[in-house]
């Protein structure tokens, strides 16, 4: 593992990531209950969702701008009828209209500069009655500016974006129990200690590209510190400590399910 691993690529191998990893894992497990047929994932990440989703599909295509070690495991790829495409999006190049039953994209849209084009392209490649399942951080619960994110969304902002193309938008969110909230409060206090030195509010003034590496280093150090200070709490966090419910300002992630209606004129 790299000495400083970007916090945007959550690792199932690093215990300090467990709080975020278990939340991310829930998205795949919940999506696996919904998907079938031909499924496209935008944002392979470290690849831990491949086996969870692929076993529920006829064909699973996963896209990312980077390759990763799990994709070299031919047994996983061949057994699960998985195809990996290295691609920057949008657009979704060489993918025909009306070709997928489901598109999933977790913790990606906040990184996309042309988010309207991103959603438009997903709509284009979905079959009629096809569904788009998307997660993204809830802006209201963010503790500080994340310079790797071009933007974050509130409950209403993500709904408004998706409704440009999709007529049906189910607004769900990922919430945590008391154990999760205990970690969140400790994290909030720790972040506050770091950001108290930013008296001129540079985190919101400077171009985000200048802040990415410092943010990554401090974020990684902070996660390690939280782990060392309370190893029992962090190590015992599991996917079951999170749950899906109707989206509110208090959810950690927005978890939206949209449907491409057959009667659409788009």
pLDDT over threshold 90, residue 81: no
What confidence tens digit (pLDDT) does each residue in 207-229 have?
Answer: 888 888 988 899 999 999 999 99
Which pLDDT value is given to residue 10?
Answer: 74
- CA 134 centroid distance within chain: 8
Strands 253-259 and 242-246: what pairing? unpaired
Which pLDDT value is given to residue 266?
Answer: 44
- Model confidence band, residue 75 (pLDDT cutoffs 50, 70, 90): low
What confidence tens digit (pLDDT) does each residue in 4-57 have?
Answer: 455 566 767 789 999 999 999 999 999 999 999 999 999 998 888 998 999 999
- Model confidence band, residue 200 (pLDDT cutoffs 50, 70, 90): confident
When pLDDT is averaged across residues 81-93 and rounded to a whole number, the result is: 92
Distance between CA atoms of 11 and 121, rounded to whole angstroms?
Answer: 29
* Of 16-20, 80-84, 150-154, 231-235, minimum mean pLDDT range: 80-84
When pLDDT is averaged across residues 86-107 and rounded to a whole number, the result is: 96
Mean pLDDT of the chain: 90
Q: What domains appear along the chain, each with residue ranges and CATH number? A: 15-259 (3.40.50.150)
Which pLDDT value is given to residue 4?
Answer: 42
- CA 132 centroid distance within chain: 13
* Of 56-70, 144-158, 175-189, minimum mean pLDDT range: 56-70
Measuring CA to CA, how many Å separate 207 from each of 142, 203, 204, 210, 237?
Answer: 19, 9, 8, 6, 35
Which pLDDT value is given to residue 26?
Answer: 97
Which pLDDT value is given to residue 251?
Answer: 98
Which pLDDT value is given to residue 264?
Answer: 45
pLDDT over threshold 50, residue 105: yes
Distance between CA atoms of 230 and 224, rounded to whole angstroms?
Answer: 10
């Amino acid at each position: 593992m790299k000495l400083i691993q970007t916090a945007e690529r959550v690792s199932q191998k690093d215990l300090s990531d467990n709080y975020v990893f278990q939340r991310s894992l829930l998205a795949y497990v919940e999506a696996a209950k919904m998907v079938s047929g031909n499924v496209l994932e935008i944002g392979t990440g470290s690849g831990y969702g491949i086996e969870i989703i692929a076993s529920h599909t006829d064909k699973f295509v996963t896209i990312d701008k980077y390759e990763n070690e799990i994709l070299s495991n031919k047994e996983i790829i061949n057994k699960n009828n998985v195809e990996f495409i290295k691609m920057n999006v949008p657009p979704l190049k060489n993918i025909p209209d009306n070709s997928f039953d489901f598109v999933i994209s977790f913790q990606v849209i906040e990184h996309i500069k042309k988010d309207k084009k991103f959603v438009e392209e997903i709509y284009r490649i979905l079959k009629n009655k096809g569904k788009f399942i998307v997660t993204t951080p809830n802006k209201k619960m963010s503790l500080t500016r994340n310079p790797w994110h071009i933007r974050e969304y509130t409950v209403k902002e993500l709904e408004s974006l998706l409704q440009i193309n999709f007529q049906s938008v189910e607004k769900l969110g990922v919430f945590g129990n008391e154990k999760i909230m205990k970690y969140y409060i400790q994290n909030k206090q720790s972040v506050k200690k770091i950001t108290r030195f930013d008296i001129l509010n540079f985190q919101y003034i400077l171009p985000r590209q200048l802040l990415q590496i410092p943010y990554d280093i401090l974020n990684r150090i902070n996660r390690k510190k939280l782990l060392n200070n309370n190893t029992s709490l962090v190590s015992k966090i599991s996917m079951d400590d999170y749950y899906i419910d109707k989206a509110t300002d208090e959810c950690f992630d927005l978890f939206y399910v949209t449907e491409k209606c057959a009667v659409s004129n788009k």
